[in-house]
Amino acid sequence: MSSTPHPRKGTTRRDADSLARGSQAHAQQRHHTSHDGEHRRQPTATSTGASHYIPTATYGSAHRSSRPLAGPRDTAAPGGPNLTRRNAIALAVVAALGGGGVWFATSRPVQVKVNGQGLKVTRGATLEQVRDAASLSPNAGNLVSVSGKVLEQGKGFALSARVNGADLDQDQIGSYRAKAGDDIQIGDGADRSEEYSATTREVQPKLLMQGGYGAVAYVSQWGRPGRVETRTGTTSGETADTTVDEVQDCVIMLHNVKPDNDQKLVALTFDDGPSEYTQRYLDILNQYGARATFFNLGSQVAAYPDLSKAVVAQGSQVASHSYTHPELPTLDEATLRDELKRTFDAIRDTDGVGTTVIRPPYGAFKESTWLKSGGLLSCSVIWNQDSEDWRRPGADKIAANALNGIAPGSIILMHDGGGNRDQDVEALPTIISSLQGQGYTLVTINELLASDSSIPDDIKSGNATLPEGCVWPTELGDA
């Protein structure tokens, strides 16, 4: 049969001859492409050294270049439907080749290290595929009951893994996909707990006293509640308690301040003010460029607000000495908290200073007092250098008592109110000049605490309060 198409209605003989010549040229071009294009492939080297052959890009273009041009209405031109089908096939081949490039990019081998040995694995391989490629046989964990008894051996997790130094949990193990350069460690699988039902209860922190004896007692750790689940196994029927969140006990540290690097720092303190003596003390402190701490009574702050403000203006520190000077351990919980809160409020409202530091009257503050305090205070300060001015032994004796055995971190007890303090006023210049002559600097309690790096920062601020999420204990624990 002739390959020359018959002329269609409306086509001249010249047109028919032209179409015949075009069709013959097309057949020759197709034959040439079949031998020179379709079978001629370009090798592409892979990381393994093997060659993958990809057809050349001339496969489709040869067909397009040999197709006779037709006008917009010449849809029935000879060879038209066949050429259209061949173009569609060519486009499909090109698309397939593009897809093959994506497949090659995502599936090519990558170099990893598995348990110390170099290995090539498929990029994106799971850990189980990596395990198999490395010919590893880790032992699977067991299925265990809520109390830890083995219910079925080998029914736990298939393997454990560490990737690039980080341990993976079971969710991460399941989602891991290999990347070039990964350092993978595969080990035995962990046990898997049986399914269970659970109820949860909260565990309250307890109060612990630590450190033995010290002039300063402060909260070194605030208490946080814990959670315990009581789990009942679906398979075993066993019941067991499991800690979900560890309880954090509240810790009170008893401590003598030790300034870092043996800094020669000493704290002068005055109780029971403000009073008619307060300004005289402040004038002497200014004369020597010294600072002190005034543990004021809330009732006295209310009576002498200007003098309380003057202490702060001079650069000294104001803290609590209770409101009415009771023996705090003898008070019930409500009365104790009222004494604490009223004084802190009075100092804040009068002086604009927030404080949670107290010097307990008579130095009496027991474990039970801490429990009843409800977390209203952060630090209780007594003394380790008693001037015994309350005995009124004379100015010289007061000075001698204050200076005898002085050391870095010493806290000296004196009084502002509560009686006649003329002897204190007379002794104070001798005390300050003698200390400065020995190289000591007189600082506030807050400054003294700040010199000791073992004390938490919030305590050094002098106004630490119960942090969010913490609770105050109601029971003593074992130290």
Q: Tokens 């069709």 — which residue?
A: 23
Strand partners, 121: 110
What whole-number distance in Å separates Cα of residue 182 and Cα of residue 222?
42
Classified as helix, coil or strand, 163 is strand
| Catalytic residue selected from 26, 249, 255, 271 | 271
Q: For 331-339, which contacts have Cβ atoms below 8 Å and span 24 or more sequence positions?
A: 331/372, 332/372, 333/372, 333/374, 336/369, 336/372, 336/373, 337/372, 337/373, 337/374, 337/376, 339/298
Cα separations in angstroms, 178 against 121, 172, 422: 8, 12, 83
| Catalytic residue selected from 272, 321, 415, 416 | 415
Nearest to 136 by CA among 189, 182, 177: 189
Classified as helix, coil or strand, 167 is strand
- The helix (H) or strand (E) run that includes residue 270 is strand 265-271
CB 382 within 8 A of CB 360: yes
271 a catalytic residue: yes
**How many contiguous H segments (helices) and E segments (strands) does the chain have?**
14, 24
CB 318 within 8 A of CB 300: no
What strands lie across the sheet with 226-233, from one edge to the other?
196-203, 226-233, 239-245
In the numeric block, which tokens belong to residue 349?
């409202």
What whole-number distance in Å separates Cα of residue 475 and Cα of residue 208?
9
- The helix (H) or strand (E) run that includes residue 159 is strand 159-163
CB 471 within 8 A of CB 225: yes
What whole-number distance in Å separates Cα of residue 179 and Cα of residue 123?
6
52 a catalytic residue: no
How deeply is 275 buried, as exposed, middle or buried, from its count of CB atoms within 10 A (0-12, 13-18, 19+)? buried
User: Between the CA atoms of 396, 397, 398 and 402, what dihedral angle is there, to the nearest 10 degrees?
Assistant: 100
Tell me the catalytic residues: 271, 415
